[in-house]
Amino acid sequence: MATTRNPGSGRRRRRTDESAPRSQRRPTRSQTREHVLAAAAQVFSQHAYAGATLDQIAAAAGLTKGAIYSSFGGKEDLFFEVLRSRTRERVLAAREVLGNAPTFDGAEVGRLLERFTSDDPTWHLALIQFWASVTAAPGSGRLAELQRMRSELRADIESMLTSGGVPADRARWMSVAILALSNGLAIERAIDPGATEGVFAAALETWTE
């Protein structure tokens, strides 16, 4: 016997779907992208750049590798976006510290930068491996992007230094020296964690005397 379909049932079903709790809805593309970046950051911190794979990142994100490719072109793109995100976070944290101080405090900033270089040692190894990969292929366009990012970061550091009363000419070379010292100390700390304690603060205090 043929069944009679209630014409209102489809509408009720659609309304029920639309009123489903937000947690049950399919994540937006932006949410998926942020989720993948968080998973990638975790994998890069565990395995560095050379040891990390898209399979590991997909597993950490609970997604297929195809889903990763739909948002990012590959491991290099993923790492670059994680690097961009981490750089923004560090700049904001540094601005908060410097913004609360009437003048530049080398010891305080040094402690902040030491924390940046010690809280995730494997990340700095990943960063060095990434740089080596990028500089080995200078024609790829990625090197130019990385150079722009570093130039913007130096400008941010220089601006923070001058806002704290550091003369402009000194702030210019200090912005480069701070990045170089950060990278160098991260390497030394990976080899001998205790050897670098207090070095950043001492250097900054000396530079601003």
**H or E element: which one contains 195?**
none
What's the rounded mean pLDDT across residues 70-99?
A: 88
7 Cβ neighbours under 8 A, 6+ residues apart: none
141 lies in some domain? yes
49 lies in some domain? no
Domain assignment of residue 148, given as a range: 81-208
197 lies in some domain? yes
Q: At 131, is the secondary structure helix, strand, or coil?
A: helix
The pLDDT value recorded for residue 120 is: 82
More reliable by pLDDT, 108 or 45: 45
60 lies in some domain? no
pLDDT bucket at 23, cuts 50 / 70 / 90:
low
196 lies in some domain? yes
pLDDT digits (tens, 9 = 90+) for 144-163: 999 999 999 999 999 988 98
How many domains in the chain?
1
Q: What is the mean pLDDT of the chain?
A: 84
Task: Give yes or no for residue 9 having a pLDDT over 70.
Answer: no
pLDDT bucket at 20, cuts 50 / 70 / 90:
very low
173 lies in some domain? yes
61 lies in some domain? no
pTM of the model: 0.78
Distance, CA of 130 to CA of 80 (rounded, Å):
9
1 lies in some domain? no
**H or E element: which one contains 6?**
none
pLDDT bucket at 21, cuts 50 / 70 / 90:
low
